[in-house]
Amino acid sequence: MLPISRAFSVVNKVCSGAAAYLSISRTMSTKKALVLIAPGSEEIEAVTPIDVLRRGGVEVTVAGLANSEVQKCSRNVLLGVETSLTEAKKGGPYDAILLPGGAKGAEAFVESEELGEVLREQDKAGRIVASICAGKKAFEVSDIAVTERK
């Protein structure tokens, strides 16, 4: 387990790098990101990127993997979502899709055929697929190459 100061440092680097990349890479219109939440997702790995990306001017859609109901995360924190993945697909394409970690959430991501299809389409189109910690398991089962940035 990472010391809390190291964990915040890692999250800060990931989020600030993502926000900086997304805000500089498009000059004429707003970037769009989709953040998926499943029961058991790690709340800090979801909320922090959502906050940082929105502060950076990115239009973030927060979607529940299976539905648009409140999601119970890994530490029993309840997170409201704006829509479901099925409905969020209608608002695409997204410049980036982010999957937070959390063991149970990652298991749900892996089991979702709909998410696998969305991730493969996103990757094939050359758009960003990103994950934090265990979230990358969904990429592995979707045959998406996993590269890590530090």
> Any residues with CB less than 8 A from the CB of 121 and at least 6 apart, and which?
none
Residue 56, pLDDT score: 94
pLDDT digit string, tens, across residues 64-102: 999 999 999 999 999 999 999 999 999 999 999 999 999
Q: Residue 62: which H helix or E strand, with range?
A: strand 59-64
- Domains of the chain, start order: 4-141 (3.40.50.880)
pTM exceeding 0.85: no
Residues of the chain with pLDDT below 70 are: 1-28, 142-143, 145-150
25 class by beta-carbon count within 10 Å (0-12 exposed, 13-18 middle, 19+ buried): exposed
Residue 65, pLDDT score: 97
